[in-house]
Structure 1
């Protein structure tokens, strides 16, 4: 059993050291909770549970504490992929909900598995997801001061390998802040979140760069074709250099390889593979 999570990037400066430490502590607690959950649950159930924990922590840009778009609204995106069934589901730019990853979970049983905007919100309401305002006081202050233009690369994600050898990946984001309303990030696409029987990947960084590089799907495809997870990731990141792509990934292979990689420093992540690791 293996589990790895990320909390996106952060701006490295002396004023952010307290926040950096708080994120490290939160990731340590959440990955430990997630690993304990994995002991008695599937990889799919675990990535949903763990990403929901990340969405419920206002230190991260997903769910509660998500960044605010240029029109003053929060729009959330999240996706889920079951490596066992190779089914993908997600919501894009859904408003006034608490845990978009749980809506993605609900959609996994439908034929129409990716919904956006008003349709996603209507689906959420029809299926018992109540109104919730995810804007925190801190995000509102950042919005009013336009501070989030300086720290706009945050997402959360989780990849799990369960004791039956099944993989799953889940990713959730509140966007980059001050974007054009209804901009679509990578997080609810196979570029940002992908898993099959061979590997699972969750991405963070600049959504447009991750989408241009088809990053998650490309890495998993290379692992499927025989690459190690490290080699598949490293080769894919070399290809991002053609357009100075900004990205980070976490991943696990069916062989048990656990890996993280970023094109720039300061991605926060944590893993649990018998022992706890928290880095950055």
Structure 2
């Protein structure tokens, strides 16, 4: 009886060879300190619904907005962003490696970003319409939902530390304006004059925002400039989320607000449940984007509620809020959201968002460009 050729063997062998070749790409990174840029294949729509990374203990963001582009970004600028994010992650890593808690880790990370004039928080904060600086920040502890915030401070070097003082030394959640400045100074925080926050870059942005806009129909100037600095590349609001060895979550956010904002305007960054939220068992989240919309949509608290009451995982909950809901309210932005198992989500409805994270193994990854925002999950 003749033997029939087994034609199915060839395609099966082809598949097995392809799988074997791909296996090294899925192996875990080894222990030890590394700093990766996070460059990956271009993002697909489905990837944004998946985790950005796993086994994360700390993550930071440096704002959302019009994307940085690999082909047009000066190498020195790229390095400055990556170094700024990495320095913040290293500060938080020192805390966690020494047995410190997640609250101290996010405060340490945000302080580094506040001291870096590249970002819109602390030094390098944007200008208000009257050419001043008014800064906002908040911090939240997931173990007991304790929170503290300051709004409209004008002389605190590190607003995130003032927010922690409010959480730990008062019966209140938020202090604002002169009262918050005085409280911080009485408790020993370093104070500065307004010129400490000044940078040429932010001054130029204010002048651009105030410049008369051109009427495209008539080619003439019209009253009012761009108002809120909508043309800025990255808004620069900063934030951090962390989980410590006890699996306690914490989050913090800090900002100078919007370029040319009205004096006295307060955005989402100091508002618990909007710009910042942390609750053990659900999520630690820090947001960046159009603050008014994040307030109206109770952005970070809604992520937590979707996880707690809707049975969602952190990635799908964050995606639904940031990409599915907030744009319908008229605003865009992004969020970093971390659960107690170390799963990180980083969806954004804006064109771009800069962020980075630290893994349990000590790896530091920074992501700036749109082709770096695919999932590792």
Give the structure 1 partner of residue 317 of structure 2: 232
2:276 equivalent to 1:193: yes
- Secondary structure at 1:52 match in 2: helix
Deviates more, 1:251-260 or 1:78-87: 251-260
Partner of 1:261: 347
1:278 aligns with 2:362: no
Correspondence for 2:246 among 160, 164, 173: 164
TM-score normalized by the length of structure 2: 0.70
Corresponding position of 1:4: 59
Name the residue aligned to 2:266.
184
Cα distance in structure 2, aligned partners of 1:15 and 1:146:
23
Say how many residue pairs are matched.
280
Shift of 1:35: 1.9
> What's the counterpart of residue 174 of structure 1?
256
Q: Structure 2: how far apart are the matches of 1:168 and 1:32?
A: 17
Task: Give 1:104 shift.
Answer: 0.7
Q: Deviations over 1:209-242 (max 9, x none)?
A: 1112111110012222331101111221311232
How far apart, CA to CA, are the structure 1 residues paired with 2:124 and 2:327? 31
User: Residues 208 and 36 from structure 1, CA distance in 2 versus in 1: closer, same or farther, beyond 3 angstroms?
Assistant: same
Gaps of at least 5 residues in structure 2 are 1-55, 211-227, 369-377
Aligned partner (choices 188, 191, 198) of residue 135 of structure 1 = 198
Q: Which moved more, 1:142-151 or 1:162-171?
A: 142-151
Which of 107, 111, 115 pairs up with 1:48? 107
Matched, 1:203 2:287: yes
C-alpha spacing 1:276/1:254, structure 2 compared with 1 (3 Å): same
Unmatched 5+ stretches in structure 1? none
For residues 272 and 64 of structure 1, the distance between their equivalents in structure 2, rounded to whole angstroms, comes to 24
Higher strand share: 1
| 2:93 matched residue in structure 1 | 35
Cα-Cα RMSD: 1.9
Which structure has the bigger radius of gyration?
2
Indicate if the aligned counterparts of 1:196 and 1:220 stay in contact, CA closer than 8 A: yes
The secondary structure found in structure 2 opposite 1:261 is coil
> Are 2:153 and 1:94 equivalent residues in the alignment?
yes
Counterpart secondary structure, 1:263:
coil
Contact 1:90–1:188 at 8 Å: present in 2 too? yes
Q: Distance in 2 between matches of 1:141 and 1:241?
A: 29
TM-score normalised by L of structure 1: 0.93
Distance between the aligned counterparts of 2:78 and 2:206, measured in 1?
A: 21
Secondary structure of the corresponding residue to residue 345 of structure 2: strand
